[in-house]
Amino acid sequence: MDSTIKYKIISKIINSDDEKQLQAVKSILGIKDDEDFWDELSVEDQASIDEGLNQLEKGKYVSHQSVKEEITRRFNF
């Protein structure tokens, strides 16, 4: 299948506000409302995300600003 067709379809879907059309596409693609991306993740990925969230809650993170400053300092940007 030509990838141009795929892009046209995706564009139509993204720009559509027609609930009936979107529901029809959802039905054709077999998308169910009760699906959650979390359930599709591996146990290891779920554990890694949970660990990251726990670290964030404990304040164990590096801010974007401090990373930018470190890169500037290290590489003279």
Where do the domains of the chain lie? 1-34, 36-77
Mind listing the pLDDT tens digit for each residue in 11-38?
999 999 999 999 999 999 988 877 678 8
Short-list 72, 52, 55, 76, CA closest to 64 = 72
- Residue 57: which pLDDT band, with cuts at 50, 70 and 90? very high
